[in-house]
Amino acid sequence: MQQGHPPAEAVIVDAVRTASARGRPGGALADVHPVDLLARTFTALLARHDLAPGLVDDVLVGCVSQVGEQSATPGRMAWLAAGLPPHVPAATIDRKCGSSQQALHFAAQAVMSGCQDVVVVAGVESMSRVPMGSARAGADPYGTAVGERYAPGLVPQGVAAELVAARWKLGRDDLDAYAVRSHRLAAAARDSGAFDREIVPVGTPAGAFARDETIRPDSTVERLAALRPAFARDDVAARFPEIGWHVTAGNSSQITDGAAALLVMSAGRCAELGLTPRARVHAMAVCGDDPLLMLTAPIPATRRVLERSGLTLADMDHIEINEAFASVPLAWLAEFPDADPARVNPRGGAIALGHPLGASGARLTATMLHALEDGGGRYGLQLMCEAGGMANATVIERL
């Protein structure tokens, strides 16, 4: 940024996503290579605008499991697979579940600093083809010192979700009722056509895929009550006797295949190109918290981003909190009793729409932007809990 010049304004011109597919063999996207999945998402995004692709300065892609089919800088390979100009580079970003939300932060920072004018932000994860955790290759990712500091060691996310439920006194009925809400709201949004503008069809061997297949509108608390706890272990129970073992597959996010993409620019370049900005990035923050609880960082991240934005929760017309587990948004709501629960994930969340790891941040932005437009809202707050006890927080302003 040149000295004496105010920062450029980073605007979002478009935000799209694929429909959510079950991340297992037989899922609607299981036969699509993740590079091809992202390439088709790029093609669909750019086809919506009179923009020469060669004007793009960079492509920033969130992806968590960077191994196997997702190991060769998937954004670069997808850009080439889509037949787009080879002089445009790409980078892969891993901030775990917040990877593509962090990609948006990096893009906005590049634009605001004057280093870049046009950035494509995206995320991709094929969890059916590149299983969660496969990047570890069976090795210890923590080392000796982390194990000693948090002896006898950190815990899996599911156990962390149990610890959060215990700390905020959330019972099984609370978690299951929230899960049913997620499916109900997502089904209502899908059936009303509320998702139609944000979803871009993806070609598959079985035809075009354009409708979320992860939503279970017939979900009930009674049915979920029949599910067994997913993470119960005797050694963990001995270490944490406060755990009630309430977390199940039914009140957790779904393993999912998907991709999402955003078109981000400086307001000046957007005007020069005759494009219409739909939102601007108003404020950004990242934050760490207790890595043992792991999923609580959205709470301090909320306070930090609100302080930076000069806004309050009452100003937020829409709040997206990634539903990694039902205990995450419920604990957040308990910490912020002034927040309107009806504004939190009003079109459902990852429990119903799935959690394709590296793609989820961009997916949440796409859903939030369209919901703000449909409802005439102005500000939206997006929060993402991440492995290691981290979080991204973003405020966007609809224009």
**Selected catalytic residue, list 63, 270, 287, 385:** 385
Look up residue 252 and give its DSSP letter.
Answer: B
- Pairwise CA distance, residues 326 & 330, whole Å: 6
Active site residue 115: no
**Selected catalytic residue, list 63, 97, 270, 287:** 97
Element spanning 321, H or E: strand 316-321
Which residue type, as a one-letter code, is found at position 141?
Answer: P
Pull the structure tokens for residue 348. 């459902």
Active site residue 270: no
Using DSSP's 3-state secondary structure scheme, residue 214 falls into coil
Pull the structure tokens for residue 272. 């020069």
Cα distances from 17 to residues 73, 218, 260, 283, 360, in angstroms, run: 20, 25, 4, 23, 10
Active site residue 97: yes
CB 137 within 8 A of CB 65: no
Look up residue 357 and give its DSSP letter.
Answer: G
Would you mind telling me the total number of residues written for the chain in this entry?
399
Element spanning 145, H or E: helix 143-149
CB 233 within 8 A of CB 153: no
Residue 208 has phi, psi (to 5 degrees) of: -70, 135
**Selected catalytic residue, list 105, 246, 355, 370:** 355
The catalytic residues are 97, 355, 385
